[in-house]
C-alpha cells in the first residue's frame, strides 16, 4: 500500500509557482468528518474548504496557482525521495522526506471537530539536520479574497468577512517559529535535528467569535489516532484485501458529514474527467444514488450506526412532495445547488470551467428511486427520525414512481443531452417497486399492493421487450439503441434476472469485449454524444469494479480476481482513487477521492470473499 516515490522535488523558493498543485494521484486526504484537506506529495495543502465540505475553499491551488491558496511545509534543499503512508488504520498522514543532510517526517491530520476546525502539522527530525521552509497563502472564496492578516511572531490571524483563521508555529527546542510576510503570503524557515519536533496549527472559527486558544498538539494526535483505530476495529471484512477495504471504508467515513449523516460524492470540484476538457463537476454534495451505495457497503462491513444516521438524513432530505424528490442534496439536505463558474480560477491543468454547485440537481433520474428503496430495505428498521414516518414516505415515493416510470430521464450518468428511456433507469424503477413490495410483505405497512405488483410486472415485461438487443446479445443503453452501457452490468447484481440467465451472461461478455480500454471499463462511448458534451473521458473505476463483481457472479472467478488485482494497482500510494483512470496517459482523472470508486472496490472485495451474494439483496440487516 505504501509505495516509496523517488521523485526529486525542488525547494518551494526555487520552484516556479505551479499552475496546479500536483498530479491527482499525488494527493492524500485528511479530514475531521465535516470537511477535508488534500495534501500533496510535496507537503502542500492545495485544497481545503472551511468550515464544511461544501463551503468556499480557502486553499484552491489545486484548481489554479499557488497564489490561489496553499500551505506548504517541506525541506529547503532538494528532496531525494518521499515516502508516504497513513499511520496504520487511521487518517493521520505521515510523509517522510529524505535529503542529503538528513530526514524528516511530516505528520498531517485533522482532530475530530469540537468547537473549531483544526489542521495540525507536526515535523519530526528523524536523522541529521534538515533546513525547512513553509509558505502559506490564505485565499477565501475559492482563491479570490486576500484576507486581512496580522502577525505576531509565531501567530498569524487572517480575517475576511465571516471567516477567521489562526495559524501558530512552535519549535520544541527553539521556542516559537517566526513567521513573516512575503508578498501576499507568509513564510518561515527553521532547522530541525534528529529527535526534535516543530508543530503548526491552523484553526478556523467564525470571525464573530474570540480568537481560539492554542491546541495541545501531542494530545490531539493521540486522540485522533485512537478515534480512527476504534472506528476501524468495527470492520467485519474477512478476506485477503483488508488493507484496501479498510482504507476505502475510512475514506467514506471521512466524507460523511457527521452533524447530519450526509455523505459527499467527493471532496473536490472540477477535477477534470479529461485533462484540459470541460467535464468538470462539483461533487461536494450528497447524491441519493452514491449515498445509498455507500450505506450498503458500510452495513456490509458492520457499520450500522452510520446506516441509522444516513436513514435519518435521507428521510429528512426527501420529506415532502414525492414529485419534488431531487437527485442531489446539500450536506444537510439543502435543495438549492445552483451551478456557477469561478471564472478567476484557471482550472486543474487549464481544465475550465471550474464549476461550483451542480446543475444535475434539477434532473429527473428514475434510478435513484430504486437505489434508495434498495438501501432502505436493507437498513435497520428501528430508530427512524420521528418527524418523518419512513413507511408512509416510502409508500408515497412508490406511488409517485408508479405514475412517472414511463417517462424518459437523464439516467445514472446524468446526461446533459436529451432525456431517453435508459434501460438501467427502468430496471431501477423495477427495483424500487420490488423492494417496497417485499418490505410491505415483511412488515405489513399500508400500501396499494395490487397496483404495485401490476406495475412491477409491466416494467419487467417492457425492459425485456425493448431493452435487450438480440443481435448484440446484450442489454443496451436505452430503448432501441445499439450502444452498450456499463450501467447494464448492474441488471444481474440487483436481481432483475438471475445471474445465470443467458441475457445477463451475454451482457457481461458484450461489455467486457466492447466497452473496455486496456481492460478497464468505460461508462459508454462518449463519441456517440448521448451525454450532450464535447470531449472524451477516462475509464470509469466504479464500472471496472462492477465488472469484477459481474464476472465473479457469472462464474468467471479467476478472471474476476485478476481484474480486481490489476485495478488495485491503480490505487495511489496511500490507497485512494479518483473517479476515473486514463489508461493512455496512465493517470487518474476526475474528482478525488471519489466515493463511487471506493464503494465499488469494497463491494467487489466482499464479493470475491463470498461475503456478499445477490441472495443478500432482500434480507434486511437487523439492528444489533
Ligand atoms: O458525466 C456527467 C455528469 O457527471 C457527474 O455525475 C457523475 O457523478 C455523480 C456523483 O458521483 C454520479 O452519481 C453520477 O452517476 C456520475 O455520472 C456530475 O455530477 C453531473 O453533473 C454530470 O452531468
User: What pLDDT, in 10s, does the model give residues 93-146?
Assistant: 999 999 999 999 999 999 999 899 999 999 999 999 999 999 999 999 999 999
Query: What pLDDT does 390 receive?
Result: 76
Residue 151 three-state SS:
strand
Best of 290, 340, 360, 419 for a ligand 1 pocket test (most atoms within 8 Å of beta carbon): 360
CA–centroid distance, residue 217 to ligand 1 (Å): 39
84 within some domain: yes
Are 189 and 303 within one domain? no
Q: What is the 3-state secondary structure (H, E, C) of 551-564?
A: HHHCCCHHHHHHHH
Please state, rounded to an integer, the average pLDDT across all residues of the chain. 91
**Residue 615 near residue 493 (C-beta atoms within 8 A):** no
217 within some domain: no
Are 172 and 285 within one domain? no
**Residue 215 near residue 203 (C-beta atoms within 8 A):** yes
Q: What is the 3-state secondary structure (H, E, C) of 231-280?
A: HHCCCCCCCCCHHHHHHHHHHHHHCEECCCCEECCECCECCCCCCCCCCC
Query: What pLDDT does 311 receive?
Result: 82
Q: Is the pLDDT of residue 67 over 90?
A: yes
CA–centroid distance, residue 498 to ligand 1 (Å): 29
Average confidence (pLDDT) over 476-499: 96
Are 484 and 607 within one domain? yes
CB 297 less than 6 A from any atom of ligand 1? no
| Residues whose CB is less than 8 angstroms from the CB of residue 295 and which lie 6 or more positions away in sequence, other chains included | 263, 306, 307, 310, 311, 375, 378, 379
Q: What number does the ligand 1 atom closest to the CA of 523 have?
A: 17
Q: What number does the ligand 1 atom closest to the CA of 290 have?
A: 13
Query: What pLDDT does 619 receive?
Result: 66
CA–centroid distance, residue 350 to ligand 1 (Å): 21
CA–centroid distance, residue 274 to ligand 1 (Å): 14
CB 412 less than 6 A from any atom of ligand 1? yes
As given in the structure block, the three cell numbers for residue 250 are: 475510512
Average confidence (pLDDT) over 284-299: 93
Going by C-alpha positions, the residue among 509, 503, 499 that lies closest to residue 468 is: 503
Going by C-alpha positions, the residue among 394, 396, 284, 358 that lies closest to residue 34 is: 284
CB 289 less than 6 A from any atom of ligand 1? yes
Average confidence (pLDDT) over 189-205: 97
Are 406 and 309 within one domain? yes
- H/E segment holding residue 27: strand 27-31
CB 452 less than 6 A from any atom of ligand 1? no
Are 261 and 196 within one domain? no
Query: What pLDDT does 266 receive?
Result: 98
Q: Is the pLDDT of residue 425 over 60?
A: yes
Distance, in Å, from the CA atom of 485 to the CA atom of 491, rounded to the nearest integer, reads 11
Q: What number does the ligand 1 atom closest to the CA of 266 have?
A: 11
Are 190 and 265 within one domain? no
Going by C-alpha positions, the residue among 241, 268, 283 that lies closest to residue 603 is: 241
CB 287 less than 6 A from any atom of ligand 1? yes
Query: What pLDDT does 384 receive?
Result: 53
The Cβ-side half-sphere exposure at 520, using a 13 Å CA radius, reads: 23
Average confidence (pLDDT) over 255-269: 94
464 within some domain: yes
Are 196 and 265 within one domain? no
Q: Is the pLDDT of residue 10 over 60?
A: no
* Residue labelled with grid coordinates 461475503: 611
Beta-ladder partners of 263: 256
Confidence bin at 538 (pLDDT 50/70/90): confident
**Residue 490 near residue 440 (C-beta atoms within 8 A):** no
Going by CA atoms, what residue is nearest to atom 18 of ligand 1?
A: 281
What percentage of residues in the chain have a pLDDT greater than 90? Answer: 79
Average confidence (pLDDT) over 56-83: 96
Cα 509 to the center of its chain, rounded Å: 29
Residue count (the chain): 624
22 within some domain: yes
Average confidence (pLDDT) over 462-488: 97
CB 281 less than 6 A from any atom of ligand 1? yes
Confidence bin at 196 (pLDDT 50/70/90): very high
Output 467 or 3, whichever has higher pLDDT: 467
* Residue labelled with grid coordinates 475509464: 539
Are 594 and 454 within one domain? yes
Query: What pLDDT does 439 receive?
Result: 84
CA–centroid distance, residue 535 to ligand 1 (Å): 15
Based on the structure, what is the number of domains in the chain? 2
Are 298 and 154 within one domain? no
Beta-sheet strands, E only, within 470-518: 474-475, 516-517
CB atoms within 10 A of CB 475: 28
Confidence bin at 380 (pLDDT 50/70/90): low
Query: What pLDDT does 623 receive?
Result: 44
Are 525 and 467 within one domain? yes
CB 34 less than 6 A from any atom of ligand 1? no
Segment among 17-31, 55-69, 220-234, 324-338 with least mean pLDDT? 17-31
Distance, in Å, from the CA atom of 347 to the CA atom of 238, rounded to the nearest integer, reads 42
What percentage of residues in the chain have a pLDDT greater than 70? Answer: 94
CB 278 less than 6 A from any atom of ligand 1? no
CATH number at residue 485: 1.50.10.10
242 within some domain: no
228 within some domain: no
Give the DSSP letter string of 525-559. Answer: -GGG-TT--SS---EEHHHHHHHHHHHHHTT-HHH
Going by CA atoms, what residue is nearest to atom 7 of ligand 1?
A: 413
Query: What pLDDT does 441 receive?
Result: 79
pLDDT in tens, 591-614: 999 999 999 999 999 999 999 988
Distance, in Å, from the CA atom of 215 to the CA atom of 200, rounded to the nearest integer, reads 10
Distance, in Å, from the CA atom of 569 to the CA atom of 589, rounded to the nearest integer, reads 15
Average confidence (pLDDT) over 291-315: 87
454 within some domain: yes
Distance, in Å, from the CA atom of 204 to the CA atom of 110, rounded to the nearest integer, reads 12
- H/E segment holding residue 497: none
244 within some domain: no
Going by C-alpha positions, the residue among 140, 147, 150, 160 that lies closest to residue 180 is: 150
| DSSP class of 409 | B
Q: What number does the ligand 1 atom closest to the CA of 359 have?
A: 21
Distance, in Å, from the CA atom of 176 to the CA atom of 169, rounded to the nearest integer, reads 6
Q: Which of 153, 180, 209 is the last residue of a domain?
A: 209
* Residue labelled with grid coordinates 529547503: 76
Angle made by CA atoms 243, 247, 253, in degrees to the nearest 5 = 145
Confidence bin at 91 (pLDDT 50/70/90): very high
| DSSP class of 111 | P
Distance, in Å, from the CA atom of 72 to the CA atom of 504, rounded to the nearest integer, reads 51
Burial label for 378, CB within 10 Å (0-12, 13-18, 19+), is buried
Query: What pLDDT does 68 receive?
Result: 95
Query: What pLDDT does 14 receive?
Result: 38
Query: What pLDDT does 16 receive?
Result: 41
Cis peptide upstream of residue 538 (ω within 30 degrees of 0):
no
Query: What pLDDT does 48 receive?
Result: 98
CATH number at residue 16: 2.70.98.50
Query: What pLDDT does 174 receive?
Result: 73
Best of 264, 265, 281, 526 for a ligand 1 pocket test (most atoms within 8 Å of beta carbon): 281
Are 205 and 266 within one domain? no
Are 172 and 263 within one domain? no
CB 122 less than 6 A from any atom of ligand 1? no
- The complex scores an ipTM of 0.94
Which domain covers residue 110, as residue numbers? 4-209
Average confidence (pLDDT) over 533-547: 90
Beta-sheet strands, E only, within 301-447: 328-329, 340-341, 355-356
CB 486 less than 6 A from any atom of ligand 1? no
Query: What pLDDT does 407 receive?
Result: 98
Amino acid at each position: 500500500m505504501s509505495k516509496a516515490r523517488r521523485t526529486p522535488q525542488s525547494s518551494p523558493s526555487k520552484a516556479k509557482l505551479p499552475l496546479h498543485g500536483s498530479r491527482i494521484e499525488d494527493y492524500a486526504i485528511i479530514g475531521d468528518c465535516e470537511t477535508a484537506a488534500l495534501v500533496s506529495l510535496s507537503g502542500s495543502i492545495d485544497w481545503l474548504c472551511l468550515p464544511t465540505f461544501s463551503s468556499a475553499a480557502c486553499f484552491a491551488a489545486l484548481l489554479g496557482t499557488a497564489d490561489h491558496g496553499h500551505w506548504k511545509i517541506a525541506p529547503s534543499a532538494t528532496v531525494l525521495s518521499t515516502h508516504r503512508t497513513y499511520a496504520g488504520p487511521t487518517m493521520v498522514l505521515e510523509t517522510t522526506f529524505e535529503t542529503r543532510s538528513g530526514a524528516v517526517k511530516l505528520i498531517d491530520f485533522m482532530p475530530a471537530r469540537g468547537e473549531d476546525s483544526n489542521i495540525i502539522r507536526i515535523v519530526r527530525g528523524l536523522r541529521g539536520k534538515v533546513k525547512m521552509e513553509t509558505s502559506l497563502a490564505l485565499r477565501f472564496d475559492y482563491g479570490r479574497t486576500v484576507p486581512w492578516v496580522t502577525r505576531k511572531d509565531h501567530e498569524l490571524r487572517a480575517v475576511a468577512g465571516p471567516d477567521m483563521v489562526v495559524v501558530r508555529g512552535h519549535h520544541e527546542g527553539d521556542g516559537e517559529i517566526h513567521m513573516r510576510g512575503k508578498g501576499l503570503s507568509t513564510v518561515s524557515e527553521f532547522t530541525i535535528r534528529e529527535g526534535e519536533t516543530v508543530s503548526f496549527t491552523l484553526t478556523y472559527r467564525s470571525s464573530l467569535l474570540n480568537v481560539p486558544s492554542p491546541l495541545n498538539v501531542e494530545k490531539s494526535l493521540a486522540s485522533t489516532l485512537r478515534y480512527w483505530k476504534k472506528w476501524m476495529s468495527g470492520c467485519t471484512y474477512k478476506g485477503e484485501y483488508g488493507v484496501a477495504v479498510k482504507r476505502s471504508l475510512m475514506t467514506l467515513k471521512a466524507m460523511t458529514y457527521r452533524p447530519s449523516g450526509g455523505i459527499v460524492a467527493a471532496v473536490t470540484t472540477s477535477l477534470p474527467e479529461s485533462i484540459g476538457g470541460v467535464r468538470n463537476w462539483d461533487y461536494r454534495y450528497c447524491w441519493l444514488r452514491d449515498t445509498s451505495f455507500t450505506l450498503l457497503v458500510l452495513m456490509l462491513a458492520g457499520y450500522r450506526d452510520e446506516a441509522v444516521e444516513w436513514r435519518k438524513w435521507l428521510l429528512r432530505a426527501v420529506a415532502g412532495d414525492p414529485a419534488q424528490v431531487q437527485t442531489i442534496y446539500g450536506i444537510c439536505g439543502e435543495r438549492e445547488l445552483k451551478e456557477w463558474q469561478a471564472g478567476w480560477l484557471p482550472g486543474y491543468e487549464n481544465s475550465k470551467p471550474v464549476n461550483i454547485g451542480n446543475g444535475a440537481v434539477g434532473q429527473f433520474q428514475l434510478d435513484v428511486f430504486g437505489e434508495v428503496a434498495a438501501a432502505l430495505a436493507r437498513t435497520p428498521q428501528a430508530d427512524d427520525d420521528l418527524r418523518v414516518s419512513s413507511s408512509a414516505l416510502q409508500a408515497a415515493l412508490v406511488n409517485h414512481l408508479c405514475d412517472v416510470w414511463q417517462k424518459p430521464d437523464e439516467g445514472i450518468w446524468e446526461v446533459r443531452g436529451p432525456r431517453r428511456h435508459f434501460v438501467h433507469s427502468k430496471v431501477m424503477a423495477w427495483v424500487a417497486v420490488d423492494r417496497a413490495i417485499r418490505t410491505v410483505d415483511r412488515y405489513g405497512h399500508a400500501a396499494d399492493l395490487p397496483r404495485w405488483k401490476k406495475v412491477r410486472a409491466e416494467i419487467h415485461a417492457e425492459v425485456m421487450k425493448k431493452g435487450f438487443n438480440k443481435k448484440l446479445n446484450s442489454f443496451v443503453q436505452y430503448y432501441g439503441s445499439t450502444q452498450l452501457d456499463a450501467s447494464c452490468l448492474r441488471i444481474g447484481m440487483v436481481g432483475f434476472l438471475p445471474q445465470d440467465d443467458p441475457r445477463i451472461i451475454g451482457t457481461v461478455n458484450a461489455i467486457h469485449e466492447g466497452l473496455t480500454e486496456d481492460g478497464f471499463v468505460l461508462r459508454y462511448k462518449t463519441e456517440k454524444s448521448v451525454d450532450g458534451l464535447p470531449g472524451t473521458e477516462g475509464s470509469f473505476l466504479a464500472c471496472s469494479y462492477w465488472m469484477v463483481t459481474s464476472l465473479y457472479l457469472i462464474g468467471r472467478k479467476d478472471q474476476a480476481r485478476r481484474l480486481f488485482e490489476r485495478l488495485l494497482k491503480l490505487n495511489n500510494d496511500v490507497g485512494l482513487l479518483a473517479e476515473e483512470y486514463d489508461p493512455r496517459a496512465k493517470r487518474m482523472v476526475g474528482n478525488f477521492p471519489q466515493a463511487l470508486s471506493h464503494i465499488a472496490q469494497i463491494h467487489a472485495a466482499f464479493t470475491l470473499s463470498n461475503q456478499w451474494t445477490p441472495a443478500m439483496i432482500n434480507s434486511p440487516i437487523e439492528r444489533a
